[in-house]
Amino acid sequence: MPSTANASPSASAAPRRVRLRSPKLTYDLELLKAMSDETRQMILQFLCTPGAGEMKAFSVTEIAENFQLTASTVSHHLQMLKRAQLVTVRRDGKERLYSLQFDYLRKAVQHFADALQTIEVAVQKNAAMRNEAVIDDQDA
C-alpha cells in the first residue's frame, strides 16, 4: 500500500473506496412482482394447504370460490405466479390443477436473505470506515 506521508492534505481527506468481493447481487423481478400483490399472497397461502404428505393441488374454480373472485381474475394471478415459478400446473382431465412450488420459494427466500446479509456486512464495514476517518481527523 502506498504511503500517504507525502500526499497533499486534500488527497488524504478523500474517502477510501472499498471493492466488495461478494457475489454480484441479482434480483428476480418477476418473483418480487408476483409476491408484491395481496391477492397473490392470499392465493399462495391457500396453496400451502397440505394434502397427502405434500402440497395439495387446486383448480382455478376451487381457488376462485374460496376468495369470491372470478375464475378469470384467479387465472390471471396464477399465470403471474407460474411465470415467477412459484406454482406448477398439471392437467387432470379438463381441469388444470395448481400447486405451490415450495422448494423454489424456499430457495428464493434464502437468496434474498443472503443478499440482505451481504448488504448488511457492507453497510457495517462502511460505518466502521467512517468512524475510523472521524477518529483520524480528530487525532490530526
For the chain, the domains span: 24-139
- CA separation for the pair 67, 116 (Å, rounded): 33
pLDDT in tens, 24-50: 444 567 788 888 999 999 999 999 877
Per-residue pLDDT for the chain (140 aa), expressed as one digit of tens each?
Answer: 444 444 444 445 555 555 544 444 445 677 888 889 999 999 999 998 776 556 789 999 999 999 999 999 999 999 999 998 999 999 999 999 999 998 888 888 888 888 889 889 999 988 888 877 767 666 66
Count helices and strands in the chain by DSSP H and E runs: 6, 3
Q: Of 90, 82, 84, 98, whose CA–CA distance to 46 is shortest?
A: 98
- CA separation for the pair 24, 53 (Å, rounded): 37
Side chain identity at 51, as an amino acid letter? G
Q: What is Dmax (Cα atoms) for the chain?
A: 81
Residues in the chain: 140
Q: Cell for 68?
A: 369470491
Asked if the 24-139 domain carries CATH number 1.10.10.10, the reply is yes
Q: Cell for 34?
A: 408476483
